[in-house]
């Protein structure tokens, strides 16, 4: 089938298999490999992208479902050479180690801050519970998200 | 070694050099790579835990669109020079070692055992085709419980051995029988340390790329150098025809320190078909066929005096090794033996390890590997000794601590602890954690029906693998050496490249090693590039595991950079007409002592080294590049003190960690930010094991926890922010004074969490709990203590609660109504 999906501001017309997952469309068809796959069961959130402005797990969306939609991936987050505040905060606060969960975590955090610009630590922790990280213990991820929100950081 | 002159980068919390590409989606992980003409591989895996393979029909699969070939063990029997190796051969111990081939033939021994591999042009197509391979299995009896496996009459995993016991290994020191004969009391406990998964968020994967006579294997591994060696041995390909590259690796935690069947299959089939072959593990495969960790039962007896002095200790371990051996499978239970006495001066110790085959995937090293198990029982036993003698458990610890002035300290088992200050870390912990205030708060909460508890762990661990002569073939018996290499090359323009034999997967080698080199070269770490994970670049190395990177690999970097510095000083001295010993490096300048106006920078010196001026004596070779091969004299022994506070909801059994306070000592910090990150992650890994995670097989050997739906990793929502602090006790083993920290949190934290849960529940009469402390287990323990008979039995949901199957599965932070494994 044929789909038209605007990815990171660029309209893409593609012929795809109807069962193709959005994450494989982004990675294997468009070469946007920043979006990762960690679990196959919608648990880990490594594949989180923004679909029409909302965070979704792209392993659980068919590319066909994104027909006509706008998708933003981690590659599209920085604007004009400036890191997104969440990206910058992850760097500043050692919010990543192996970096594998990081794109999904950043996309989820950016979505969280858009919906709730001034979250408490508790709200950040619950807001990110759909994204798994095995390296950081979440401490510095939470710190980074609060930093990006311009809030004080936890101890 | 000469006194190290630094530019002050070591010790700073410098931001990571690795991060810019990773936060922008420009990392390069294995599944991000594609090669022209590449084929995809899919494995056909056994749904049976133990069965004869009567026939395999691949004809249907071969007819599927895009399928290029389907191969069974029979098709590949000439491809292998030797089986996949297990590398522990201890003196005087026979280990029954079954042959382990990349594809099973004749019989399958665990669920997920691969029997065929499908190659095709499409990622989805090979999965479809694998489902069309028809295998006729004749099921055989299954054993999944290691204690049952060791009983007479148990089904046998390997008929030819006549037993499921793989081996017994024991070690002892002192006079254990006398200690028990003279004891005032013997304190005993059975503890279960259940099976867990590494669960790196990136599963495994590889691409084999045949070029000319050789093949390059890109693989998500912790061990590119060892992998090349093993590939060479198993596939019979000379090492010079093999290159192994670890790209960005999305976490390891031990789970990527084997050379797995899929990597071997990709290499041999890529050569046969002369096309690149890519295989990417699914999460279910990761849970099925990437090695697990722990899975042992400990029987401990401690001989104590009435004043709390521990005079002797006997430990019997029953370890479940699974059906086959991966590289280190039978060695992992024993690996913790050097710290069997913990932080304590226990003069008499006897350890016995009885290891068993079961119809499960092999266990091997997962974060901590043997030391979490040792630390778990010894710390909980110190608590139990205190309770039985009515002495504060922290006071029991203090009375048994090895005093700071007795280091280096030789233990009863002949291991020499390098340095330590156990009173110091506990004192600092108690400065940061007001125990009196906690007890008051705890009592107030109990009056309100809320159950809060605190648990402590004062741990020591052993890391820094090498030393080669201790752990190698004539020592402990590992068929390897484990020294480490580094090469430091300064370019003509004065920038530097560090080549390390270690191979990172999130630790921050690029940043920390750049700091170490920069200080010794008098340049900015921004101008130090760190190269790793490619067997075609830099000297041979022994890769990354066991918290060895900094203490062995980092020291090699320091030594190589110091050699470059010494040559730079000779060049500088010749050009400034001074003696080399009068050249000092400070603030990025090589200056003549007493004449600070006479100086050169590394840029000047590197230029002269590469384009020698007439004034430079010809006995100084051109170039500026040095290599160090470093084999330490001893292990290093990090230590610390941790406190965990939990709340237990006694109505639901849910345990919540509400505070975690850690003091760790890994010697002087290279980058304190990286240390904190390792502690956060390590502690979380242990909280995961203690509260949520368990690999569960049912009685028929089916893996119940085959996805993240059932294998519950902790999320941000379950955890507090952590309070970390450090003491710095240098190691005398290396010039940096450093010890490893990658596993410390994982080693320390499980007993602290369990002790906290027990502390919370003690008023209710709960005396013991085995991990994981899932809501159902905790709730049932509370009911059992109430005396209504709701102990370990079939629950209301009909789920058997046992340590090897059933009720613990998937039991994240939910209530007792959970269905568990059902």
Give the DSSP per-residue string, A125-149: HHHTTTS--SSSTTHHHHHHHHHHT
Phi–psi pair at B583, nearest 5 degrees: -90, 130
Helices (H), ranges, B448-508? 468-471
Provide, as residue numbers in chain B, all residues whose Cβ is less than 8 Å from the Cβ of A83: 23-24
Pairing of strands B528-531, B583-586: unpaired
Tokens of B245: 């590259």
Mean pLDDT, residues B448-476 taken together: 95
Cα B179 to Cα A153, B172, B375, B497: the distances in Å are: 52, 13, 22, 56
**pLDDT above 50: residue A67:** yes
Across chain A, which distance is largest between two alpha carbons, in Å? Answer: 52
Residue B796 burial class via C-beta count within 10 angstroms: exposed 0-12, middle 13-18, buried 19 and up: exposed
Going by pLDDT thresholds of 50, 70 and 90, the confidence category of residue B567 is very high
Angle at alpha carbon of residue B101, lines to B74 and B287, rounded to 5°: 115
- A24 Cα distance to chain centroid: 15
Residue B618 burial class via C-beta count within 10 angstroms: exposed 0-12, middle 13-18, buried 19 and up: exposed
* Contacts for B284 with CB less than 8 Å, ≥ 6 apart: A40, B706, B707
Q: Is B680 on the interface with A (CB under 8 A)?
A: yes
- R_g (Cα) of chain B, nearest Å: 28
- Total CB pairs under 8 A between chain A and B: 183
Are B506 and A98 within 8 A, CB to CB?
yes
C-beta of residue B203 within 8 angstroms of C-beta of residue B238: no
Are A38 and B707 within 8 A, CB to CB?
no
Are A97 and B199 within 8 A, CB to CB?
no
Q: Is B723 on the interface with A (CB under 8 A)?
A: yes
Residue B114 burial class via C-beta count within 10 angstroms: exposed 0-12, middle 13-18, buried 19 and up: buried
Cα–Cα distance measured from residue B222 to residue B701, given in angstroms and rounded to the nearest whole number: 29
Provide, as residue numbers in chain A, all residues whose Cβ is less than 8 Å from the Cβ of B16: 91, 94
3-state class (DSSP) for residue B659: strand
Q: Is A16 on the interface with B (CB under 8 A)?
A: no
Taking only residues 96 to 155 of chain A, the set having a beta carbon closer than 8 angstroms to any beta carbon of chain B reads 96-103, 106, 121, 124-126, 128-143, 154-155
Cα B199 to Cα A87, B435, B707, B720, B808: the distances in Å are: 25, 35, 10, 21, 17
* Contacts for B31 with CB less than 8 Å, ≥ 6 apart: A27, A33, A36, A37, B202, B205, B280
Cα–Cα distance measured from residue B61 to residue B126, given in angstroms and rounded to the nearest whole number: 9
Tokens of B756: 């906290």
Count of CB atoms within 10 A of residue B78's CB?
8
Q: Is B128 on the interface with A (CB under 8 A)?
A: no
Q: Looking at chain A, how many residues does it have?
A: 155
Residue the block writes with tokens 């069947």: B261
Give the per-residue pLDDT at B138: 98
Count of CB atoms within 10 A of residue B285's CB?
21
Count of CB atoms within 10 A of residue B553's CB?
29
Buried b (16+ CB within 10 A) or exposed e, A7-41: bbeeeeebebeeebbbbbbbbebbebbbbbbbbbb
Closest residue to B201, CB basis, from A38, A126, A143 = A38
C-beta of residue B183 within 8 angstroms of C-beta of residue B260: no
Taking only residues 172 to 201 of chain B, the set having a beta carbon closer than 8 angstroms to any beta carbon of chain A reads 199-201
* Contacts for A29 with CB less than 8 Å, ≥ 6 apart: A14, A16, A20, A63
Are A106 and B199 within 8 A, CB to CB?
no
Mean pLDDT, residues B86-106 taken together: 96
Cα B512 to Cα B14, B508, B554, B645: the distances in Å are: 8, 6, 8, 32
C-beta of residue B667 within 8 angstroms of C-beta of residue B739: yes
Provide, as residue numbers in chain B, all residues whose Cβ is less than 8 Å from the Cβ of A94: 15-16, 673-674, 676-677
Cα–Cα distance measured from residue B441 to residue B170, given in angstroms and rounded to the nearest whole number: 45
Angle at alpha carbon of residue B316, lines to B310 and B317, rounded to 5°: 125
Q: Looking at chain B, how many residues does it have?
A: 822
Angle at alpha carbon of residue B801, lines to B795 and B807, rounded to 5°: 85
Cis peptide before B408 (omega within 30 of 0): yes
Provide, as residue numbers in chain B, all residues whose Cβ is less than 8 Å from the Cβ of A101: 201, 250
Closest residue to B708, CB basis, from A124, A129, A132 = A132
Query: What is the nearest CA distance from A118 to chain B, expressed in angstroms?
Result: 17
Cα–Cα distance measured from residue B274 to residue B435, given in angstroms and rounded to the nearest whole number: 66
Going by pLDDT thresholds of 50, 70 and 90, the confidence category of residue B596 is confident
Angle at alpha carbon of residue B331, lines to B329 and B333, rounded to 5°: 95
**pLDDT above 60: residue B790:** no
The DSSP code for B251 is: -
Cα–Cα distance measured from residue B822 to residue B815, given in angstroms and rounded to the nearest whole number: 15
Query: What is the nearest CA distance from A72 to chain B, expressed in angstroms?
Result: 12
Tokens of B37: 């003409």
Give the per-residue pLDDT at B787: 83
Are B506 and A33 within 8 A, CB to CB?
no
Strand order in the sheet with B185-197: B165-173, B349-357, B310-322, B292-304, B185-197
Strand partners, B410: B416
Cα B702 to Cα A101, B23, B48, B416: the distances in Å are: 29, 39, 7, 44
pLDDT per position as a tens digit, B657-704 = 999 999 999 999 999 999 999 999 999 999 999 999 999 999 999 999
pLDDT per position as a tens digit, B481-534 = 999 999 999 999 999 999 999 999 999 999 999 999 999 999 999 999 999 999
Angle at alpha carbon of residue B757, lines to B751 and B758, rounded to 5°: 85
* pLDDT, mean over chain A: 95
Closest residue to B23, CB basis, from A87, A121, A139 = A87
Closest residue to A106, CB basis, from B23, B681, B708 = B23
Closest residue to B716, CB basis, from A32, A96, A129 = A129
Say what percent of chain B tops pLDDT 70. Answer: 95
Going by pLDDT thresholds of 50, 70 and 90, the confidence category of residue B789 is low
ipTM value: 0.97
Going by pLDDT thresholds of 50, 70 and 90, the confidence category of residue A151 is low
pTM: 0.95
H/E segment holding residue B684: helix B672-687
Are B680 and A24 within 8 A, CB to CB?
no
Per DSSP, chain B holds a count of helices (H) and strands (E) of: 20, 28
Say what percent of chain B tops pLDDT 90. Answer: 94
* pLDDT, mean over chain B: 95
Phi–psi pair at B303, nearest 5 degrees: -90, 125
Nearest C-alpha in B relative to A86: B23
Going by pLDDT thresholds of 50, 70 and 90, the confidence category of residue B212 is confident
C-beta of residue B620 within 8 angstroms of C-beta of residue B574: yes
Going by pLDDT thresholds of 50, 70 and 90, the confidence category of residue B616 is very high
pLDDT per position as a tens digit, B335-388 = 999 999 999 999 999 999 999 999 999 999 999 999 999 999 999 999 999 999
* Contacts for B151 with CB less than 8 Å, ≥ 6 apart: none
Give the per-residue pLDDT at A150: 85
Provide, as residue numbers in chain B, all residues whose Cβ is less than 8 Å from the Cβ of A100: 27, 29, 200-202, 248, 250-251
C-beta of residue B228 within 8 angstroms of C-beta of residue B239: yes
């Amino acid at each position: 089938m044929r789909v038209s999906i605007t990815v990171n501001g660029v309209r893409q017309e593609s012929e795809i298999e109807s069962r193709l997952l959005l994450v494989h469309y982004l990675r294997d068809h468009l070469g946007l490999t920043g979006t990762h796959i960690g679990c196959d069961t919608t648990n880990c959130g490594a594949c989180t992208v923004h679909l029409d402005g909302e965070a979704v797990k792209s392993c659980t969306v068919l590319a066909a479902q994104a027909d006509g939609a706008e998708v933003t991936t981690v590659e599209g987050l920085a604007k004009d050479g400036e890191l997104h505040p969440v990206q910058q905060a992850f760097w500043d606060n050692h919010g990543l180690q192996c970096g594998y969960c990081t794109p999904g975590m950043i996309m989820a955090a950016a979505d969280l801050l858009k919906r709730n610009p001034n979250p408490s630590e508790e709200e950040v922790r619950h807001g990110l519970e759909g994204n798994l990280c095995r390296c950081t213990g979440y401490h510095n991820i939470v710190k980074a998200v609060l930093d990006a929100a311009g809030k004080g950081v936890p101890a | 070694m000469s006194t190290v002159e630094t530019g002050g980068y070591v010790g700073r919390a410098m931001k990571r050099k690795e991060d810019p590409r990773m936060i922008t989606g420009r990392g390069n992980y294995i599944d991000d790579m594609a090669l022209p003409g590449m084929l995809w591989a899919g494995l056909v895996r056994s749904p049976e835990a133990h069965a004869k393979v009567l026939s395999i029909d691949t004809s249907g699969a071969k007819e599927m669109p895009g399928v290029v070939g389907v191969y069974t063990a029979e098709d590949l029997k000439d491809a292998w020079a030797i089986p996949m190796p297990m590398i522990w051969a201890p003196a005087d111990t026979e280990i029954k070692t079954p042959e382990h081939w990349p594809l099973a033939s004749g019989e399958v021994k665990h669920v997920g055992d691969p029997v065929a591999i499908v190659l095709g042009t499409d990622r989805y197509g090979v999965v479809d085709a694998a489902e069309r391979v028809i295998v006729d299995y004749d099921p055989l009896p299954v054993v999944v419980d290691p204690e049952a496996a060791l009983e007479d009459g148990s089904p046998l995993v390997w008929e030819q051995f006549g037993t499921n016991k793989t081996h017994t290994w024991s070690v002892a020191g002192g006079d254990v029988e006398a200690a028990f004969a003279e004891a005032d009391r013997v304190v005993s406990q059975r503890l279960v340390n259940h099976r867990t998964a590494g669960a790196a968020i990136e599963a495994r994967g590889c691409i084999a790329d045949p070029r000319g006579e050789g093949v390059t294997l890109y693989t998500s591994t912790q061990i590119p150098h060892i992998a090349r060696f093993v590939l060479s041995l198993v596939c019979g390909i000379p090492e010079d025809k093999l290159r192994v590259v670890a790209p960005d690796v999305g976490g390891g935690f031990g789970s990527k320190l084997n050379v797995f069947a899929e990597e071997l299959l990709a290499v041999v089939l890529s050569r046969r078909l002369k096309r690149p072959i890519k295989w990417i593990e699914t999460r279910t495969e990761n849970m099925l066929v990437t090695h697990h960790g722990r899975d042992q039962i400990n029987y401990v007896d401690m001989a104590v005096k009435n004043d709390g002095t521990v005079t002797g200790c006997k430990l019997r371990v029953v370890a479940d090794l699974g059906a086959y051996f991966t590289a280190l499978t039978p060695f992992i239970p024993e690996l913790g033996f050097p710290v069997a006495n913990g932080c304590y001066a226990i003069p008499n110790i006897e350890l016995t390890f009885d290891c068993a085959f079961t119809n499960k995937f092999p266990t091997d090293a997962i974060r901590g590997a043997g030391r979490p198990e040792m630390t778990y029982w010894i710390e909980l036993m110190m608590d139990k000794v205190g309770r039985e003698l009515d002495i504060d458990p922290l006071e029991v610890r203090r009375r048994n601590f090895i005093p700071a002035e007795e280091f280096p300290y030789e233990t009863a088992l002949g291991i020499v602890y390098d340095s330590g200050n156990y009173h110091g870390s506990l004192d600092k912990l108690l400065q940061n954690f007001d125990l009196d205030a906690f007890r008051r708060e705890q009592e107030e909460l109990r009056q309100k029906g809320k159950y809060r508890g605190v648990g402590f762990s004062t741990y020591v661990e052993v890391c820094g693998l090498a030393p080669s002569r201790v752990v190698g073939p004539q020592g402990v018996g590992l068929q390897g050496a484990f020294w480490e290499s580094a090469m430091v090359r300064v370019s003509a323009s004065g920038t530097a490249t560090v080549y390390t034999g270690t191979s990172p997967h999130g630790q921050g080698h690029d940043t920390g090693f750049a700091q170490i080199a920069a200080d010794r070269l008098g340049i900015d770490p921004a101008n130090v590039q760190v190269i790793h994970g490619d067997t075609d670049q830099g000297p041979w190395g022994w890769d990354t595991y066991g918290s060895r990177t900094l203490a062995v690999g980092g020291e090699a970097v320091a030594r190589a950079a110091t050699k470059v510095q010494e040559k730079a000083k000779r060049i500088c001295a010749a050009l400034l007409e001074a003696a080399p010993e009068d050249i000092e490096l400070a603030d990025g300048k090589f200056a003549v002592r007493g004449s600070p106006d006479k100086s050169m920078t590394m840029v000047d010196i590197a230029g002269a080294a590469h384009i020698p001026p007439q004034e430079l004596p010809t006995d100084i070779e051109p170039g500026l590049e040095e290599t160090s091969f470093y084999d330490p004299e001893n292990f290093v022994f990090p230590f610390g003190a941790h406190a965990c506070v939990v709340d237990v909801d006694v109505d639901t059994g849910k345990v919540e960690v509400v505070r975690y306070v850690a003091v760790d000592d890994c010697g002087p910090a290279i980058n304190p930010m990286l240390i904190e990150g390792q502690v956060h992650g390590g502690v979380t890994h242990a909280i995961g094991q203690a509260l949520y995670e368990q690999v569960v097989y049912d009685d028929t050997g089916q893996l119940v926890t085959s996805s993240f739906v059932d294998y519950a990793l902790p999320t941000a929502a379950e955890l507090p922010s952590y309070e970390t602090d450090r003491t710095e006790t240098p190691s005398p083993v290396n010039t940096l004074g450093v010890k490893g920290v990658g596993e410390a949190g994982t080693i320390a934290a499980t007993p602290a969490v369990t002790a906290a849960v027990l502390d919370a529940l003690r008023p209710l009469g709960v005396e013991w709990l085995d991990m994981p402390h899932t809501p159902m287990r905790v709730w049932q323990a509370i009911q059992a203590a109430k005396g209504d008979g709701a102990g370990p039995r079939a629950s209301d949901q009909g789920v058997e609660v046992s340590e090897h199957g059933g009720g613990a599965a998937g039991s994240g932070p939910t209530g007792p109504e959970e269905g568990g494994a059902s």
